[in-house]
Amino acid sequence: MKFVDYATIYVKAGDGGRGSVHFRREKFVPRGGPDGGDGGRGGHIIFTASHDYNTLLDFRYKREYRAERGEHGQKQRMHGKDGEDLLLPVPVGTLIKDAATGEVLFDLDHDSARAVVAKGGRGGLGNSHFATATRQAPQYAQPGEEGGECTLILELKLIADVGLIGLPNAGKSTLISVISAARPKIADYEFTTLVPNLGVVKPENRKSFVVADIPGLIEGAHKGIGLGFQFLRHVERTSRLLHLVDISDMPERDPVADLETINRELELYSPELLKKPQTVVGTKADIAGSGERLSQLESYCTEKGIDFLTVSAATGSGIRKLISYLADALETRAEL
């Protein structure tokens, strides 16, 4: 399934039905009086958040949604049927914004969250409501009100406990495939991962947590270079950042410079991102020649007061320690 996390749509709630102008006509009832019924309410446009969905793909191809209008009132004071509400399911973590102002109207950040974005028009009153002692045969009824309408921006920000960040080929996809049941594409070239991937990590006898693999960032990502900033929004929802740095034998790369490059991109996109708890993980520790790069990166993290771990997804070295560390960190944060 194609991953889509942004869409612009138009929604129109149902119009209310008009009231009825009718008079009771029965044999032996010469002055039956008005008996026009009320019109039905128009259907609302309602968004519902569900874990059963993980993309806004449907809204990319269909961009206009209209709810059912209310039926008109009828004789014998019969009320017109209300229009059926239109329920639009979206993934948990969807922001609903006003397209004109950019204002966030609703944040559907938990399962079953609901948002009425356009209310159906009220049905008009029938002529039976307007009879008085001096006006016993009113010849008019109310028209139904128009339903609300608006143009909206839907923006999905994945909700995860831990976000994996780092340069392309830092080992993010490999790591998430080892610690969870997620199966992202893995290959020996840059930008293998083109969409975020979610994986659920289940530590033994501990509470499970969700990890998001954010596609590789490069210098200039905040300006749209490479995959650009389109996936940086997903980092905003994470509780903790796990910064993966390749410490294998790659003489053309400086691990400290790699770390600073990505952090600089996060800060340029949103300074708030650097306030999130961050842990640096040296990856591919099994490859020969990683000792010098490992020492260099570890010294830098110690100097900056950043937690540092090393792992090898290929051999499994350090994986259990990493999972236990993350479980402890998340539980500690939850208690605060």
Whether residue 1 lies inside any domain: the answer is no
User: 15's torsion region: left (phi>0), alpha (psi -120 to 50) or beta?
Assistant: beta
Whether residue 70 lies inside any domain: the answer is yes
- What's the mean pLDDT when you consider all of the chain? 84
Helix (H) or strand (E) holding 119, with range, is: none
Indicate whether 110 and 214 sit together in one domain.
Answer: no
> What confidence score (pLDDT) does residue 133 get?
83
Whether residue 170 lies inside any domain: the answer is yes
Indicate whether 244 and 209 sit together in one domain.
Answer: yes
Which of the residues in the chain have pLDDT under 70? Answer: 1-3, 182-195, 216-231, 250-252, 288-290, 333-336
Indicate the residue among 133, 156, 179 that finishes a domain: 156
Indicate whether 194 and 88 sit together in one domain.
Answer: no
Indicate the residue among 110, 134, 156 that finishes a domain: 156
Whether residue 54 lies inside any domain: the answer is yes
> What confidence score (pLDDT) does residue 223 get?
52
> What confidence score (pLDDT) does residue 334 get?
60
| pTM exceeding the 0.95 threshold for the entire prediction | no
How many residues does this entry show for the chain? 336
Helix (H) or strand (E) holding 243, with range, is: strand 240-246
Indicate whether 150 and 268 sit together in one domain.
Answer: no
Task: Give the number of domains in the chain.
Answer: 2
> What confidence score (pLDDT) does residue 264 get?
86
Indicate whether 178 and 314 sit together in one domain.
Answer: yes
Indicate whether 231 and 125 sit together in one domain.
Answer: no
- Which CATH number fits the domain that encloses residue 237? 3.40.50.300
Cβ density class 239-259: b for 16+ within 10 Å, e for less: bbbbbbbbbbebeeeebeebb
Written in H, E and C, the secondary structure of 3-57 is CCCEEEEEEECCCCCCCCCCECCECCECCCCECCCCCCCCCCEEEEEECCCCCCH
* Domain boundaries, position 125: 6-156
Side-chain-facing half-sphere of 209: CA atoms under 13 Å: 26
> What confidence score (pLDDT) does residue 1 get?
46
CA dihedral 76, 80, 81, 85 (to 10 degrees): -160
Residues 251-281: tens digit of each pLDDT: 567 889 888 988 888 888 888 888 889 999 9
